[in-house]
Amino acid sequence: MDRYAVVGNPVAHSRSPEIHAAFARQTGQHLVYDKLLAPLDDFVGTVDRFFDAGGCGLNVTLPFKEEAFAWVGEHDEFAGAAGAVNTIARAARGFRGYNTDGVGLVRDLEVNLANPLAGRRILVLGAGGAVRGVLGPLLGRAPAEIVVSNRTEGRAAALVDRFEDPRLRAAVWERLGDGFDVVINGTSAGTTRRSLAITPEVVRAAFVYDMAYGDAATSFLQWARASGAARTSDGLGMLVEQAAEAFRLWRGVRPDSVAVLTALRSGG
């Protein structure tokens, strides 16, 4: 049976196996999807062993998306622009890396959550591999401006320079203003249990979205609501939508992501 997995560290919390199992049942595909814990210093060895044993494809989560970019031999447009890969598939010669994070985020925001992005001022918190993967698709939705903000300005500025788009600018957390329509948390603050040095004015009256889901998103979203956010959402929908795109790339069929997301939200 064809074998797939999500590789990361940590990875025990991942809901990707149940999501892909649901996609497989829905579409009549026969496959196995596991969790693959990679040591922080042996991502390459872990991936090599998986594919040497006949594995068909991998999803890549924190903190390995940039290492995955270096490992594959070719990339799609979004992965190439971001320098980060979250989906690996076998190719005619070697392996091809994709980044489905941004496609999943945009679909969740605009379709599932009915929150259009055109003409909006968007703040993205963080400048790591997760954020790299979403900037291209976000820019493709014609926002008025996207501010990439990080604890240190240098990393955010380097990411902005990578995309060379006049709608992008960098800022440190302590110097953010207000007036954002959408605030997206792409940091690992929820996982590491640390707070972000931003003021309540940053999220007031905004749609606040955390790319994490479950417990990892709880503290930031609770703070955002207490600070006057208009609406909030965790990233479970993004997880489902990026997984649906990965499933399509691997299996040639796109599953009904809304049905799976609805079941997950209801505890099914």
**Could you give the CA distance from residue 129 to residue 176 in angstroms, rounded to a whole number?**
22
**Could you give the CA distance from residue 67 to residue 96 in angstroms, rounded to a whole number?**
14
Indicate the angle between helix axes 257-265 and 236-251, nearest 10 degrees.
140
> What one-character-per-residue DSSP string does the chain give?
-EEEEEEESS-TT--HHHHHHHHHHHHT--EEEEEEE--TT-HHHHHHHHHHTT--EEEE-TT-HHHHHHHSSEE-HHHHHHT--SEEEE-SSSEEEE--HHHHHHHIIIIIS----TT-EEEEE--SHHHHHHHHHHHTT--SEEEEEESSHHHHHHHHHHH--TTEEEEEGGG--S--SEEEE-SSHHHHT------GGGTTTSEEEESS-THHHHHHHHHHHHTT-SEEE-SHHHHHHHHHHHHHHHHS----HHHHHHHHHTT-
User: What is the C-alpha end-to-end distance of the chain, expressed in Å?
Assistant: 25
Considering the candidates 65, 75, 120, 251, report the single residue annotated as catalytic: 65
Active site residue 35: no
Shortest CA distance to 199 belongs to which of 217, 233, 172, 181?
172
Residues annotated as part of the active site:
65
